[in-house]
Amino acid sequence: MTENETAALPLGLALTPLNPAYQEDPFALLDQVREAGRIVHDPQLGRHIVGRFEDVQAILNDRDLAVDPRKATENSFSARLRRLDDSAREPSMLFLDPPDHTRLRSLVTKAFTPRAIERMRPRIEEIATELIDKIGDQASFDLMTEFCQPYPTIVIAEMLGVDPADQADFKRWTDDSVAAGFDPFASEETKQRALVAGEQMENYLRRAIAERRDDPRDDLITALIHAEDEGDFFNDDEVRSMVGLLLAAGNVTTTDLLGNGMKNLLQHQDQVQLLRDDPSLIPNAVEEMLRTEGPVTFSGRITVDDREIAGCPMHAGQSITVALGAANYDPRLHKDPHKFDVTREDIDHLAFGGGRRYCLGAPLARLEAQIGVRTLITRFPSLRLAEQELRWKKVPVFRGLESLIVLT
């Protein structure tokens, strides 16, 4: 690709929510990047972007690529994210490579099991119902603040076993950390808030872990303390970091999946009717929500040696951005990709990433979303969108609404 061709593409800040056109329709801009070539250099942000489904999938599955930002070249996108967190703390599993990642992932898998998630099903249904009962018979309400935000926070907080009265703190701590942790343009104020939030959460969890060491309970924090893999256990710092990761990962993403997904669904009342007529379509509808507007638009990998990526020779330490939100609209795989269709067959998407780092919380996110959609459309038989200008959050790798006003 010539420099002129690259200059015409929406790259750098233009490919972030700081650009109003990106906020309005990121997928149109991502289409341009994906169709410009298998790999596109983004000099402003120090990264190479890959957006075709097959290439993105191959990169996610590639065991010779890293994620630890300490391995990235100075000034690359990954290294910029690293500088946001100069604390002495060990990074969470999300930013570690094998053997550390293998060990932590294998231990958390012993505690955060499909059984533990399935056991939550009746309680998740109750939580959804309780939130809707609270909304009552208001003629209109903000779906984000009244439902999508509190819902997954309450679920993960109850799974972990933290006091329901402390849930507001959990939400604030994770929102503040995520706002700084994934935004290379975060202001000093945002970074400072994240630092304070990190300390407060650390102190809180230190106490929660000590209490459970003395007095084990039937909750996920206790299960993490006792998780064992061939005589190996988490130490207290690792439990703390894992709980922080589960909280943050479980909070923001599921909120945004439901917000984006319900927006898309309510824009197509014929599709809502299909789900009301046949609720067994709801799991498929959630997959279509993940494909068309999943909450995580980008993930990343780092090269650790000189090699080819998507047909392009690269050096070690280069930052590769995989555009999940571009791959999910790749016409090479998806017929009529911009159509939102809850009856679409064999939906294949990369909204949860892939390979050995495939989202650990995917079964929980799916369960919460399916129950959330069902409860909302059942309890509000005329649910529709109010006229409004949508306001989007500004964290670069995520896609989520600040608010979504609906009429009942």
Where do contacts with ligand HEM occur on this chain (CB under 6 A)? 60, 93-94, 105, 156, 245-246, 249-250, 253-254, 257, 294-296, 299, 351-355, 357-361, 364-365
Calculate the alpha carbon distances from 115 to 120, 126, 342 in Å.
Answer: 9, 18, 28
* DSSP H or E run through 302: strand 298-303
- Chain position whose Cβ is nearest to ligand HEM: 361
Closest approach of ligand HEM to the CB of residue 154, in Å: 13
Cβ–Cβ < 8 Å for 81, 182: yes
Q: At what angle do helices 269-277 and 236-266 cross, to 10 degrees?
A: 110
Closest approach of ligand HEM to the CB of residue 351, in Å: 5
Q: Which of 249, 241, 205 lies closest to 87, judged by CA?
A: 241
Closest approach of ligand HEM to the CB of residue 315, in Å: 22
Helix (H, G, I), strand (E, B) or coil at 405: strand
Give the C-alpha separation, 115 to 332, whole Å: 37
Nearest to ligand HEM of 237, 278 (CB atom): 237
* DSSP H or E run through 308: strand 307-309
Closest approach of ligand HEM to the CB of residue 109, in Å: 9
Site of tokens 């709801």: 282
Closest approach of ligand HEM to the CB of residue 88, in Å: 21
Nearest to ligand HEM of 9, 364 (CB atom): 364
Nearest to ligand HEM of 9, 374 (CB atom): 374
Nearest to ligand HEM of 6, 102 (CB atom): 102
Nearest to ligand HEM of 257, 406 (CB atom): 257
Nearest to ligand HEM of 364, 373 (CB atom): 364
Q: Which two tokens stand for residue 86?
A: 């100069």
Q: Which of 388, 374, 383 lies closest to 151, judged by CA?
A: 374
Closest approach of ligand HEM to the CB of residue 65, in Å: 10
